[in-house]
């Protein structure tokens, strides 16, 4: 606590019933401090002019919602009343006004001894409790009962505030509830918005609608645009203004993009916005990586960066078998999950052969092995590699300093399939927050998106059903695969593969 207590005052109320006298302890800060709430517009109850700090205190007591107040003892003599505290809802800071002072009403369990009792046998006129329709004393508006401290605490007025499902911690008048991922917010955050589905008209497409979309990436100009690999139609689709109510959707790369060249089960991709918007695609069924300059296929024509042959299985280091995910670091190196070889391959620029940096061509579950890896995320600045080890049902983290093969540590999942909060089931896509380090995992066979906060032992479901059930309504998913999150981390896009649609979710 960075502020000084100048004095303590006990204020007795004249609300007397059944021999009970309510009292409060008032704490005053030293001069030169003021209260800063976390949500000024919601927590400020009133701002009035009074002649003394005592009058400001009295004004706070007359407003049952007031818990803390600011007062300027000279000058404007402004009295500001707040719904707040100094532990969760705000803080005491140095003020630009030297005569400013803060008064805090301290609450204690003794103020709530009537909670849960009959109003007829206890004091009805209480500042801290109210009588409900069943004539039982309960917490007043904007507060909730916390049995761990035996008091009514203020509800949280901040979107995204951490909460406990077992307590009514979020401001109901703001339509906030404690969502399934333990944050306060409106229920609408659980509902996805469909950007494209099986009925969408796609300009330039020979068929109507999406068909098992897999990968999704995002780039931002005036708005948010998406590039999607639509595996069933074997084409790449462009969505302009995906963050708007009306999007323009067209084919970016058709199935047949040159004489004798067709896509065959395109999966994940990587868009290098720092290098002329080069698009690297896992043309999985053709066992190759194709690069499209400036997100187009006409001039210059696409480059086959790593060649392969459909239907040919090999463990050679210059070949891939079912490449699934691809990323490029800030030095131009490619990282590729080689699905059927259970390995991650590293390709330096202009190389004719790759280096196996994770795995050993055989499925396994020790720290050097993988079992059908899919998604990956490269943190170039910290030399870290994240891999979704799909059929080991885990996320592996590798420190890329030193020499390969690298050993991984499990940072999400237990290694066994399941739908508990600490488990995954066939994870595919992954994205890592630049702000918090949290993992966003596409828990594909559990039909949900899990967020694992940095260092957490379990995840929370931010989209889809927490129990792993599949569905097609706005709150459900069915075998999701790809994930993309915008720069300010306020919107998330998911390829909902078996529902053949792209879903957008707001994040907090």
Residue 319 near residue 287 (C-beta atoms within 8 A):
yes
**Residue 435, C-beta contacts closer than 8 angstroms, at least 6 positions apart:** 489
In a domain? residue 492 = yes
Give the total number of structural domains in the chain.
2
**CATH code of the domain containing 215:** 2.120.10.30
At residue 503, does pLDDT exceed 90?
yes
pLDDT, tens only, 135-149: 999 999 999 999 999
- Does pTM surpass 0.85? yes
87 token code pair: 């532990």
Residue with tokens 């704490």: 27
Instruction: Give pLDDT tens digits for 30-72.
Output: 999 999 999 999 999 999 999 999 999 999 988 989 999 999 9
317 and 442, same structural domain? yes
**Contact 360/380 with Cβ under 8 angstroms?**
no
Q: Is residue 282 part of a domain?
A: yes
Question: Is the Cβ–Cβ distance between 267 and 284 less than 8 Å?
Answer: yes
Q: How far apart are CA 345 and CA 6, in angstroms?
A: 65
Q: What is the pLDDT of residue 70?
A: 97
312 and 194 in one domain? yes
Q: Is residue 144 part of a domain?
A: no
Last residue of one domain, picked from the residues 110, 132, 160:
110
Residues whose CB falls within 8 Å of the CB of residue 96, separated by 6 or more in sequence, listed in order: none
Phi-psi region of 333 (alpha: psi -120 to 50; beta: other; left: phi over 0): beta
pLDDT at 189 over 50: yes
Confidence class for position 222, pLDDT limits 50, 70, 90:
confident
**Are 93 and 200 part of one and the same domain?**
no
Does one domain contain both 217 and 362? yes
Q: Which of 185-199, 300-314, 445-459 has the least mean pLDDT?
A: 300-314
Please answer whether residues 81 and 46 qualify as being in contact, where contact means their C-beta atoms are separated by less than 8 angstroms.
yes
pLDDT at 24: 65
Instruction: Please give the structure tokens belonging to residue 143.
Output: 């507060």
Structure tokens at 202: 């796609």
| Bridging pattern class, strands 33-37 and 78-82 | unpaired
Based on the fold, state whether residues 241 and 95 are members of the same structural domain. no
Q: Domain containing 82 — which CATH number?
A: 3.50.4.10
User: Has residue 294 got a pLDDT over 60?
Assistant: yes
Q: Among all chains, which residue has been given the structure tokens 């803080």?
A: 91
**451 assigned to some structural domain:** yes
Rounded Cα distance between 260 and 37, Å, is 65
Question: Is residue 167 a part of any domain in this protein?
Answer: no
Q: Considering Cα of 145, then 148, then 150, then 153, what sign does the dihedral take?
A: negative
Give the pLDDT band (50/70/90) at residue 103: very high
Same domain membership, residue 360 and residue 252: yes
| Residue 380 and residue 277 in one domain | yes
Q: Which of 64, 79, 110 is the last residue of a domain?
A: 110
Burial degree of 158 (CB within 10 A; 0-12, 13-18, 19+): buried
Residue 241 is inside which H or E element, if any?
Answer: none
**213 φ/ψ angles, rounded to the nearest 5 degrees:** -65, 145
Tokens of 488: 């300010």
Structure tokens at 299: 């001039």
Last residue of a domain, one of 83, 110, 137: 110
CA angle 488, 493, 498 (to 5 degrees): 165
Is 261 inside a domain boundary? yes
Taking the CB of residue 62, how many other CB atoms lie within 10 A of it? 10
Give residue 1's pLDDT.
47
Report yes or no on 94 lying in a domain.
yes
CA 58 to chain centre: 43
- DSSP for 31-95, written as a single string: TTEEEEESSHHHHEEEEEE-SSHHHHHHHHHHSTT--EEEEESSTT-EEEEES--SSSSEEEEE-
Bigger pLDDT: 14 or 73? 73
Q: Work out the percent of the chain whose per-residue pLDDT is above 70.
A: 94
Asked if 102 and 195 sit in the same domain, the reply is: no
Q: Are 139 and 115 in contact (CB under 8 A)?
A: yes
pLDDT of 13: 41
Q: Is the dihedral of CA 265, 269, 271, 277 positive or negative?
A: negative
In a shared domain, residues 86 and 210: no
User: Cα torsion for 200, 201, 205, 210, to the nearest 10°?
Assistant: 0
Question: How far, in whole angstroms, is CA 263 from its chain's centroid?
Answer: 33
Residue-level length of the chain: 508
Hunting for tokens 């790449």 — which residue is that? 236
Among 10-24, 91-105, 119-133, 192-206, the least confident range: 10-24
Q: Answer yes or no: is 320 within a domain.
A: yes
Q: What are phi and psi of 373, to 5 degrees?
A: -70, 150
pLDDT average, residue stretch 331-359? 96
Return d(Cα 296, Cα 505) in angstroms, integer. 28
Pairing of strands 20-29, 33-37: unpaired
Q: What angle do CA 374, 422, 406 make, to 5 degrees?
A: 45
- Domain ranges, residue 24: 5-110
């Amino acid at each position: 606590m960075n502020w000084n207590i100048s004095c303590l005052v006990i204020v007795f109320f004249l609300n007397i019933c059944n021999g009970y006298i309510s009292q409060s302890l008032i704490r005053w800060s030293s001069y030169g401090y003021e209260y800063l709430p976390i949500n000024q517009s919601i927590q400020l109850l009133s701002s009035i002019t009074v002649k003394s700090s005592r009058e400001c205190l009295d004004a706070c007591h007359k407003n049952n919602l007031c818990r803390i107040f600011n007062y300027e003892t000279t000058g404007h003599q402004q009295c500001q009343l707040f719904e707040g505290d100094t532990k969760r809802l705000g803080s005491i800071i140095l003020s630009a006004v030297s005569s400013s002072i803060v008064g805090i009403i301290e609450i204690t369990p003794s103020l709530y001894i009537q909670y849960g009792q009959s109003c007829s046998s206890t004091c009805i006129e209480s500042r801290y409790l109210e009588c409900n329709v069943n004539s039982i004393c309960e917490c007043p508006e904007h507060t909730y009962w916390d049995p761990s401290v035996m008091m009514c605490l203020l509800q949280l007025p901040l979107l995204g505030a951490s909460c406990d499902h077992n307590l009514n911690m979020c401001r109901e008048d703001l339509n906030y509830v404690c969502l399934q991922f333990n944050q306060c917010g409106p229920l609408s955050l659980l509902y996805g918005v469909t950007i494209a589905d099986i009925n969408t008209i796609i300009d330039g497409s020979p068929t109507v609608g999406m068909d098992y979309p897999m990968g999704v990436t995002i780039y931002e100009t005036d708005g948010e645009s998406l590039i999607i690999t639509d595996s069933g139609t074997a084409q790449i689709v462009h969505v302009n203004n995906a963050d708007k109510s009306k999007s323009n959707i067209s084919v970016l790369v058709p199935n047949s993009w040159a004489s004798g060249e067709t896509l065959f089960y395109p999966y994940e991709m990587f868009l290098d916005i720092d290098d002329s918007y080069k698009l690297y695609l896992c043309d999985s069924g053709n066992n190759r990586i194709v690069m499209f300059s400036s997100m187009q296929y006409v001039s210059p024509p696409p480059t086959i960066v790593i060649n392969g042959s459909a239907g040919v299985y090999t463990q050679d280091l210059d070949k891939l078998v079912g490449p699934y995910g691809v990323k490029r670091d800030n030095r131009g190196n490619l990282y590729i999950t080689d699905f059927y070889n259970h390995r991650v391959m590293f390709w330096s620029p202009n190389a004719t052969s790759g280096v196996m940096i994770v795995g050993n061509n055989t499925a396994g579950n020790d720290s050097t092995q993988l079992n059908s890896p899919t998604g990956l995320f490269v943190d170039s600045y910290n030399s870290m590699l994240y891999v979704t080890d799909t059929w080991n049902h885990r996320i592996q983290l590798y420190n890329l300093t030193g020499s390969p093969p690298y050993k991984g540590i499990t940072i999400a999942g237990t290694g066994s399939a399941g739908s508990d909060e600490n488990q995954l089931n066939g994870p595919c896509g992954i994205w890592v927050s630049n702000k918090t380090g949290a993992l966003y995992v596409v828990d594909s066979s559990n039909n949900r998106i899990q967020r694992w906060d940095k260092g957490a032992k379990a995840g929370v479901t931010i989209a889809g059903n927490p129990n792993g059930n599949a569905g097609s309504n706005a709150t459900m998913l069915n075998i999701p695969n790809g994930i993309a999150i915008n720069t300010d981390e306020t919107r998330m896009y998911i390829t909902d593969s078996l529902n053949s649609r792209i879903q957008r979710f707001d994040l907090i």
